[in-house]
Structure 1
Amino acid sequence: MGKNQWVSPRDDKWAVHGEGNSKDTKIFDKKSDAVEYGKNISKNQQSEFIVQKKNGQIQSKDSFGNDPLPPRDTEH
């Protein structure tokens, strides 16, 4: 599994960065472009994908890895 990927606000732009990295992977003018780019990285690395709001709060989380607690099959 790769590093968790984050979309975070940077002044009036949006950054995609790997968790714990000191440098941003890429900066975007539009949040939607950053989300698309970051989601693709997370899918390729089978990692978590976290999107922040403009105020820094977490807006959403998605898991593209091997979930250690997958949903249980309710059909028997």
Structure 2
Amino acid sequence: MPGKNIHVVPTTNGWAVEAEGGGGQQQYASQEDAITAGTERAKREQVELLIHGRDGQIRERNSFGHDPRNIKG
């Protein structure tokens, strides 16, 4: 069963890294720190990292796991 994607999201006190569907957050003072930690976790768990902007919208996504798309090159 694939792992849950990791999200970097804004919080009232900074930024957080959390897995889809809950399961707790790790809090960070800066978005840069949260992205670094989220990237390491997504690589380790071989899932996708979704980075949200201050407005909550996804602004970037990076896949570190199995990519279901069949694209050559």
- TM-score for the superposition, normalised by structure 1: 0.87
User: Which of 1 and 2 has greater Rg?
Assistant: 1
Q: Distance in 2 between matches of 1:46 and 1:22?
A: 17
**SS of residue in 2 equivalent to 1:68:** coil
Matches of 1:22 and 1:7, distance apart in 2 = 14
Runs of 4+ in 1 over 6 A off after TM superposition: none
CA distance in structure 1 between the partners assigned to 2:55 and 2:71 by the alignment: 32
CA deviation profile, 1:47-66 (whole Å, cap 9, x unmatched): 01000000101110011001
Deviation at 1:11, TM superposition (A): 1.1
Matches within 5 A, 1:16-35: 16-24=17-25, 26-35=26-35
> Among the aligned pairs, what percent are the same residue?
33
Structure 2: gaps spanning 5 or more residues: none
- Equivalent residues, number: 72
- Structure 1 unmatched runs, 5+: none
Aligned residue number for residue 61 of structure 2 = 61
Structure-2 separation of matches of 1:33 and 1:70? 33
RMSD of aligned alpha carbons:
1.2
